[in-house]
Amino acid sequence: MKPLKGLGRHVALSMGLGAFMGVLSSYLGIYLLYLAAYSFYPNLLPKEDNGILLPTTPELLVLALVAALVLLVTITMALRLAGRIVAPLASVAQAARRISEGDLTARAQADDDLPGEAALLVSDFNSMADRLEEIAHDVITWNAQIAHELRTPLTILRGRLLGMIDGVFSPDDAQLHRLLKQVEGLSRLVEDLRIVSLLDSGEMRLERIEVDLAREIAEFGELVEPGLVEAGFSLTISPAPGKAVLDMTRIRQALLALVDNAQRHANPCDLCVEASMHADTVEIRVVDQGPGLPDDFARDAFKLFAQGKQTEGGSRAGSGLGLSVVQAIAKAHGGSAFYGVDGQACFFALSVPRWAPPSLSAAAGAI
């Protein structure tokens, strides 16, 4: 057994000293009890012939032997117990020190027979370390992805502008519209990042008002239908009559991201925007006819910068931010976004409270 230091040593010494004092106190207590009996009730116990009440040499030897045995057993048990208590604490401390030095792969080690609290401590620490490593990896991935998404339009803008300066391209309306398209793409990327960051920081502001959802969905359909028809899609609107308290600017933004996602990745089909009204919730679906998401990607589809494999019929790759924005807007409303399959059809949906919860209303007003 390794020599214990620090807390383990204190535990072992304290338990050993406590056991020795217990034996000594027990002997003294018994002696005092017999002394009282001899003094006040002499007829109960026979006196020694010499009248001496002090412990004899054999009695002292027995006392020393018993104390030594008890001390040996207690210290042995204390050392084992202290080792089981201190070992996971030392492992957690060592792993925490390595993480503070930048080694995010460090984990605390634990035996299978640890006490419940110690095992829970090690498990919680390792879960925290896993999360910390995942966040650090995500930050690196996000930075690389943001740089990649910004580089392409910036390169096009720089090339076109240099071409205009050198006289390679003439600054006509067609060229300016191409540049404007790249600028709009950059603006949308920045806005998507802003929305996701606002949700992460808890500062997304919603302007909830009572709206006629059927009318809002119909107006949204009129807005996106020309672009869908141009891409080979048709559009069907299935609105639900009724009132709801929503931030329709954000809801339209989420629906636009879902329609754009379908336009990028779904096969040309009749795209359906369905709204259903319940007593306490509103659900809006964007339904296409596939090919849908692979099973191994569906659970990660709403993560930041998540991108599946480009489908054969898909028109172009996106930034991987659209579905993250949809989820952020849904969560800001107190709801969620999800993906599902209904027969041959696939859909992305927002499910949000129909009426603003008091806590969310107060939070939005305080921002």
Q: Is the pTM of this model over 0.85?
A: no
Instruction: Kindly give the pairing relationship between strand 270-277 and strand 234-238.
Output: parallel
- For residues 327-338, b (16+ Cβ closer than 10 Å) or e, as one string? bbbbebbbbebb
Provide the pLDDT for residue 89.
Answer: 79
Chain CA centroid to CA 21, Å: 51
Residue 33's contacts (CB-CB under 8 Å, 6 or more residues apart) are none
State the pLDDT at residue 365: 42
- Report the pLDDT value the prediction gives residue 29, as an integer from 0 to 100: 75
CA dihedral 10, 14, 20, 25 (to 10 degrees): 160
Closest CA to 132 of 160, 169, 106, 156: 106
Chain-centre distance for alpha carbon 122: 18
| pLDDT tens digits, one per residue of 10-50 | 666 677 677 777 777 777 777 777 677 667 766 665 555 55
pLDDT of residue 284: 92
Which positions of the chain have pLDDT values less than 50?
1, 311-316, 360-367
Q: Where in the chain is the domain with CATH 3.30.565.10?
A: 209-308+317-366
Q: What is the CATH number of domain 139-200?
A: 1.10.287
Which residues of the chain are in CATH 1.10.287 domains?
139-200
Residues 81/34, Cβ–Cβ less than 8 Å? no
Rounded Cα distance, 125 and 90, in Å: 12
73-108 per-position pLDDT tens digit: 777 777 677 667 777 777 888 889 888 888 888 888
Asked whether the CA dihedral 316, 321, 322, 324 is positive or negative, the reply is: positive
Identify the three-state secondary structure at position 167.
coil
Q: What is the pLDDT of residue 363?
A: 43
**The CATH fold of domain 209-308+317-366:** Heat Shock Protein 90 (3.30.565)
